[in-house]
Structure 1
Amino acid sequence: MKIVSTNLGGRKKIDWKGKSITTGIFKFSVDQPIFLDTKDVREDVICDREHHGGIDQAVYGYSLKHYDYWKELYPDLDWQYGMFGENLTIDDLDETKIHVGDTFQVGEVVLEVTKPRQPCMKLGVRFNDMKIVKQFWQQDFPGIYFKVLQTGFVKSGDEFNQIKSCSENLTIAEVYAAKKIEKGIK
């Protein structure tokens, strides 16, 4: 696995169906390395700290391979890296093979896998279509949140080197499937 894009977003105010919403989900690829800190990514705006950021959700990664599926459903969007609000677009992130607790060295950083992303309405705002939230739940590729064990810079091209395997733990896909059952999502 390697990083194909590092993505940052600013604070953006959107008028959504007559309601003002402030979000940081509009992330875009940047050319410079980004600093992964213990609770968030430096220079990346998080507007809802209750549900985003923090120790167990400091960094969000999403697979470039998953983009192909979504592009078929949303062919008219202006597709670019960061569409899912991810900080790291990773070439081949496979939620069925990565376990909670797996640890990776990438760039100067050590990342630990914590949990899958649960979609919220802001993903619908980003796609300008709330159907994406339900569709996202119905798939098995939610992306991965990471805890930062060692802070530092990462950049496009940096490889993920696994330094700890926790195959005795659930995979991210299994955790996501359990969360869907808990929420009654089919």
Structure 2
Amino acid sequence: MRLLSISSGKVTSLFGSHHPNYDRVASAINKKSISNLHHLVPVEINRLGIAGDEQADLSVHGGLEKAIYVYPIEHYAFWNVLLTRETKKPVDLPLGAFGENFTIEGLVETEVFVGDQMQIGNLGFTVVKLREPCFKFNAKMGYKGAAKAMLQSGFSGWYLRVNQTGTLTADSDIKVIPGERVTSIADQNKVLFNRGNQTNLWD
């Protein structure tokens, strides 16, 4: 298991007809890889996440409990195929495409539990919860069904709390220290999907 990329972004405007009340909305979902396997640059990680990274709506992203958003590289192939089919354009998503801060390999939602500790390089983190998609994700992907596809697939990624600050570089090893292992990220996603009242997805 290893860290493939660290990504960061600033708040900008997203455009598109992906919500009935907005034709543009502020978001920092557009992240760019700043440290990766081809560009091994140390990045400062503080209690609020990556130094210089921004979030537009702190009620749903960011803060101490959602400081780092993690997404597995294993899901990229699924999204490339889906978006190519739905948008009728060739899609090859770049690292950070889901607004994630850490793109990782070797670990997915069924294997990660709330309360697990993750040691990445010399830094320590705690798994907090899944990522819940909204209409901004639809706008970012250019596909009005993207948020529902994330729920249906279970490919949500998850948030981390930062326990130990410092610098981190892509290609760092990841070690998981299990917690109580009661609720997995996949379990959380099933509960969210089965509610069936995700009115903010706007497909």
Give TM-score, length-normalised by structure 1.
0.91
Among 108, 126, 129, the alignment partner of 2:140 is 126
Residue in structure 2 matching 1:170, options 177, 183, 191: 183
From 11, 21, 26, the equivalent of 1:22 is: 26
Matched letter for residue 15 of structure 2: D
Give 1:124 shift: 0.9
Inter-partner Cα distance in structure 2 for 1:113 and 1:183: 25
Per-residue CA deviation, residues 113-164 of structure 1 (Å, 9 max, x unaligned), is 11110101111111111210111111122101111111122211001122x3
CA contact (8 A) 1:36 1:59 kept: no
The one of 34, 41, 50 equivalent to 2:50 is 41
Structure 1: segments with no counterpart, 5+ residues: none
- Structure 2 residue aligned with 1:135: 149
Letter in 2 for 1:8: S
My pick for the range that moved more, 9-18 or 169-178, is 9-18
Of the candidates 91, 94, 103, which is equivalent to residue 108 of structure 2? 94
1:154-177 C-alpha deviation (Å, 9 max, x unpaired): 211001122x31243211101111
1:65-97, CA deviations, whole angstroms, 9 ceiling, x for partnerless residues?
110111111132352001110000001221111
Mapping 1:72-87, distance limit 5 Å: 72-75=81-84, 76-87=90-101
State the identity as a percent: 28
Alignment of 1:63 with 2:72, yes or no, is yes
How many pairs align?
184
The CA RMSD measured in Å over matched residues stands at 1.7
Structure 2 counterpart of 1:8? 8
Is the contact made by 1:62 and 1:93 (CA closer than 8 Å) also made in structure 2? Answer: no
Q: Is the 8 A contact 1:25 1:84 kept in 2?
A: yes
Deviates more, 1:109-118 or 1:77-86: 77-86
In structure 2, stretches of 5+ residues that fail to align are: 36-40, 85-89, 199-203
